[in-house]
């Protein structure tokens, strides 16, 4: 049996933490920033944990 392959598209978008959780960058933070409040733009800079429903899928994609 061959090795498990990493899904490269997912690997570029999601990072695994030391505790095993997956983090991703938030969307809507690239352009049209003048229409967004400062608080909203600050919060968009922080990475976010992937939802519990998607954790199991990601474990298969990123062995």
Residue located via tokens 């519990």: 52
Edge-to-edge strand order for the sheet containing 48-49?
14-16, 22-24, 48-49
Q: What is the pLDDT of residues 5-59, one digit of tens each?
A: 999 999 999 999 999 999 999 999 999 999 999 999 999 999 999 999 999 999 9
The predicted structure's pLDDT at residue 44: 96
DSSP 3-state assignment of 41?
helix
Tokens of 4: 């498990």
Distance of CA 20 to the CA centre of its chain: 13
Q: What is the DSSP letter of 34?
A: G
- The yes-or-no verdict on residue 1 having pLDDT over 90 is no
pTM for the model stands at: 0.81
């Amino acid at each position: 049996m061959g090795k498990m392959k990493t899904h490269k598209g997912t690997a570029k978008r999601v990072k695994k933490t030391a505790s095993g959780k997956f983090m991703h960058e938030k969307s809507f933070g690239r352009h049209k920033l003048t229409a967004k409040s400062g608080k909203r733009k600050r919060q968009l800079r922080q990475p976010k944990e992937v939802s519990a429903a998607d954790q199991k899928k990601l474990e298969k994609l990123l062995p």
